[in-house]
Every structure is written in C-alpha cells, then in structure tokens.
Amino acid sequence: MSMRISTAQFYRQGVNVILEQQSKLSEYELQLATGKRLNRPSDDPSAAVSIISLESSAKRIAQFQRNADVARSRLEQEETALTGVNNLLQRVRELVVQGNNDTTGPEGRAAIANEIEQHLESFLQLANTRDANGEYIFGGYRTDAPPWTTDGVGNFTYNGDDGQRKLQIGENREVVIGDPGSLFADLPANAAGTTDLGSILYDTVANYRAGTADPNALADLDTALGAVLEARSMVGARVRAIDDQVAANDSLELSVAQVKSSLEDLDYTEAISRFNQQLVSLQASQQSFMQIQNLSLFNFLG
C-alpha cells in the first residue's frame, strides 16, 4: 500500500527542515560572536556543571590571595615595629654598658637616663602600633584599645590578651597574622621573678637619675632582646610561608583557568568550518524547498 503525502505535508516538512538548519546556524553564529563553545547549560550539561565548580574554585583561590596580601601587610607592619624595638634596645644596651662603667659619673648617668627615657616613649609607641584599619597589632584579639599603658610612676599594664588572629591563605592552610603584646611582658628578671620591657627601661632611668649603676639592666635587656628576636624570626617564617602559598595558589589558579578554558572556549578553526558547512546545508535546504514547491500538479494543467 503506497503512502500519499499531501502538498501541505511537503510544505510543513520543508519549513521544519529549514527552521532546524537556521537554528543550528544561529548557534554557531553565537559561538563565533562570544568565543565560547558553551553559551547555555543545555549546550553541554556535564561540562556546564564542571565549569560552575571550577568558577567556585577560582573565587576561593582569589579570596585566599587577597587574604595573603592582608596577612603579609599585617606581618610587615609587625616586623617594622619589632625592628624598631630591637634597634632601640640595642642602643639602650650600649648606653647601659656606658652607664654601668665606674668612670661614668652622676652627670653622665643623668644624661644617659634622659636618652633612655626617650627610648621608653618610643617603645610605648611601637608597642601600640596600629594597622591601616586602626586596629592595634599587638593587642591579641582585643584590637580596639591600646595594648600597653603606664601610670607614669613605673607601672606598665598589658591590656590585651594572648590571642593570635589568623587568616586562611589556602584550602588547608592558615597563617598567624600577629603576635600579642605579651611578648614584651612576663620576662624572666635577673633579680627574681618576672618583669616587662617598660619596667626594665623605667628602672634603668630611675637608677641612673639617682646616680647609681643598674646591676640588672644588662641581663634584663638581653632577655628582652632575645624575646624580640624570637618574635621577628617567627614573623619571617610566616612571611615565607605566605610567599610559598601564594606561589601554590598561582599555580592552582592557572590550572583551574586552563581546565575551564578547555571546557568552554571555542576552537575558531573548527567552529568556522562547522558554520560554513551549516550555511551550505541551509542554502541547499532552501533551494530544495523552492524546487519542491514548483512540483505542484497545477503547474502542469492548463
């Protein structure tokens, strides 16, 4: 039994073929315009899911890099402050060696006391260093108030805590971004018990103003210098750790970008070839449709 296809069916089939060809051509045109192989999730659902995951990874890596920049800046500020404390302690140590010398008289010790008093003021300023956000870097978790205060008569108080703030700089890596100001306190005293850096400097000034040598100053200063040196060493180790992680993040970021590119970026040579082939197919379909239209029975009557 033969199947009859009406003129209307021929027409509908022809139009559907042309519309389908035009749709494909439009897709290739969009790819060439955007440079992307995938412009809608439906273009490749599996690749689209992978791209979303990769984009999420890229955002996390970018945040880690921003955190690393903040951490490095904060540690560099701490390093600058610790270097300042170290330098003033070195100078005070030189003065103490001179002041404890038997050849130095009361007037000489009074002059030394005046200079050490200036270094005491500098120490308090450095110990109360603030970052770009106005937060005190040596306050531990308490960053809104000066960590070190004095009553002016030899009593120094650390108002912060022992907390160490951290920032995440990698998927599984955090870095400490500051040391509490307690590093200047609870120092073993040469006489007995413990002392703090402010008290060491203040007592030295008081002794020299009284015209006497300070038998404990040199040993206590060396203890303080050791604490500062240890803190500086830790800061340097953290900065190196940040540099290593930043390099690792850069490598991972590049890898993510390459994988994402392989999934979504367009091969222009192949795309242009497909576009041209599709254009030829569309033109052929249009020509065929026109010829079939002319085969109507009415064209042969009359």
pLDDT in tens, 22-61: 555 556 556 555 656 566 666 667 777 887 888 899 999 9
Q: Measured between alpha carbons, how far is 44 from 25 in angstroms, rounded to an integer?
A: 17
Reported CATH class of domain 54-258: mainly alpha
Instruction: Kindly report the backbone phi and psi dihedral angles of residue 296, in degrees, each rounded to the nearest multiple of 5, phi listed first.
Output: -60, 145
pLDDT in tens, 95-131: 999 999 999 999 999 999 999 999 999 999 999 999 9
So what's the pLDDT on residue 23? 54
Name the nearest CA neighbour of 259 among 71, 56, 72: 56
Q: Measured between alpha carbons, how far is 63 from 170 in angstroms, rounded to an integer?
A: 9
What pTM, to 2 d.p., does this model score?
Answer: 0.75
Q: In the chain, what are the domain boundaries?
A: 54-258, 268-302
pLDDT in tens, 185-214: 999 999 999 999 999 999 999 999 999 999
